[in-house]
């Protein structure tokens, strides 16, 4: 009897907790006063947009309306931290980026067997 009572109490607590954590239902469209409605009205609440992450956040509110966001275009690529140290084979590489750097910048590499410009196709750059 005690076990059954405990299970019922736990189920009631779980149900109460579940209901309190559920999102509130949206405003019922039938509660809008039809007499004041002259054109179609789009009803949205702030909770409609809570799950959409912002794409840009401007920290300077005064210039936010006049500022233009321009992408930064760089003509040179970020310099990798690789250097030619005599390695020639794919088994000596640790990544596709490293193999590509060695293949393009270092002499006597043996990493592009079919000469298609993609080194270490079976191990790293597949």
Q: How far apart are CA 85 and CA 78, in angstroms?
A: 20
Q: How far apart are CA 76 and CA 96, in angstroms?
A: 20
Q: Domain residue spans in the chain?
A: 89-126
- Yes or no: say if 84 and 108 are a contact pair by the CB < 8 Å rule: no
Positions of the chain with pLDDT lower than 70, given as ranges: 24-80
Query: What does the DSSP 8-state code read for residue 106?
Result: S
Quote the tokens at residue 124: 């790293």
**What is the pTM (predicted TM-score) of this model?**
0.38
pLDDT of 93 reads 92
pLDDT of 67 reads 56
């Amino acid at each position: 009897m005690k076990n059954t009572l405990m299970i019922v109490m736990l189920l009631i607590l779980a149900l109460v907790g579940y209901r309190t954590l559920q999102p509130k239902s949206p405003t019922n469209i039938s509660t809008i006063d039809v007499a004041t409605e002259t054109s179609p009205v789009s009803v949205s609440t702030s909770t409609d947009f809570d799950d959409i992450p912002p794409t840009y956040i401007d920290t300077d509110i005064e210039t936010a309306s006049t500022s233009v966001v321009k992408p930064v275009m760089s003509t040179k690529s970020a310099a990798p931290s690789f250097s030619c140290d005599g390695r020639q084979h794919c088994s000596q590489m640790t990544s596709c980026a490293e193999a590509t750097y060695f293949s393009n910048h270092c002499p006597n590499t043996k990493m592009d067997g079919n000469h298609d410009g993609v080194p270490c196709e079976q191990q790293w750059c597949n």
